[in-house]
Amino acid sequence: MDVQAWMADQIPAVEQVLDRVLPTSTEEPERLSRAMRHLVFPGGKRLRPAFALAAAQAVGGGAEQALSVAAAVELIHVYSLIHDDLPCMDDDIERRGRPTVHVAFDEATAVLAGDALQSLAFSILLSEAPTPWAARIGAELADAVGARGLVGGQVDDLAAESVKPDLDGILSIHARKSAALIAVAISGGARLGGGSEAEVETMRCLGRDVGIAFQMTDDVLDAEDDEGCSLIPLLGAQGCRDRAEALLEGALSQIEDLGEPAGALRELCQWAVRRSL
């Protein structure tokens, strides 16, 4: 299947949810509302929402059943980008071809916009995902974002600027900063698509492995950037590609028995890990 065509068909529904739940650009406080929308539209690849929709289909459900978790994980992702870009973090001035939020507005507004996007993500789950799955997925998302997940990974990533971690340390950072949110997107989509507990757990493992492999590919594509944690100095570009491919193949083997319904998920996983500039 053509995964790009599939995404072009499915992602507009996510865009509609995001546009509906976000404050309009004129809603007070207007500056905060505009800052919240600044990095959400136009979006990036929307890979995490796509994973959620494809996972719902993979277990026999409809993509539309996973729209709440798809929108929630994208808002969390954007929140993390806004905070990562701050002067006290990576100090980036451009993101998605636009000025970063703290450059377009100011640092305080960027912090608050990220905070507001994070809370909005949980609001979507609690108000729009079916009970009892809303609370279950919300708890899993909170773990993925918090001290044992994305935030903790960012702390260790910042520390790595002065003391370079070993291979296991970098893999741990990748697992928390990148893979944890991807795993929630995939397992949450499967749960809302009607998957069994065994299928949801399989999807969680797949998401973790694909998420780490996805970050390894980023290491290769960003090889000229010396900032942050990267496996390139330890493994080299080809070594990273080889390890990412091994993780991908292992992940895909876990969903061999799902057949045709998992076609989009398989293609997304391969595209995410095998992409190039």
State pLDDT tens for residues 242-264. 999 999 999 999 999 999 999 99
The mean per-residue pLDDT over the stretch 97-118 comes to 97
CA dist 31 and 33 (Å) reads 5
pLDDT above 90 (res 226): no
Output the pLDDT for position 1.
77
pLDDT band for position 275 (50/70/90)?
confident
The mean per-residue pLDDT over the stretch 207-212 comes to 97
Distances in Å between the Cα of 168 and the Cα atoms of 8, 106, 150, 199 are 37, 37, 17, 28
The mean per-residue pLDDT over the stretch 88-111 comes to 95
Which is higher by pLDDT, 96 or 202? 202
pLDDT above 90 (res 213): yes
Mean pLDDT score across all residues of the chain:
94
121 within 8 A of 79, measured Cβ to Cβ: yes
Output the pLDDT for position 223.
74
pLDDT above 80 (res 228): no
DSSP summary character for residue 222: T
pLDDT above 70 (res 10): yes
Output the pLDDT for position 122.
97
pLDDT above 70 (res 225): no
pLDDT above 70 (res 181): yes
pLDDT above 60 (res 65): yes
pLDDT band for position 224 (50/70/90)?
low
CA dist 232 and 230 (Å) reads 5
Output the pLDDT for position 51.
98
CA dist 188 and 195 (Å) reads 10
pLDDT tens per residue across span 132-179: 899 999 999 999 999 999 999 999 999 998 888 999 999 999 999 999
DSSP summary character for residue 165: -
pLDDT band for position 227 (50/70/90)?
low
Output the pLDDT for position 216.
95
> What are the chain's domains?
3-274 (1.10.600.10)
Residue with tokens 């609370």: 135
Output the pLDDT for position 85.
96
Distances in Å between the Cα of 201 and the Cα atoms of 55, 76, 186, 191 are 12, 22, 10, 9
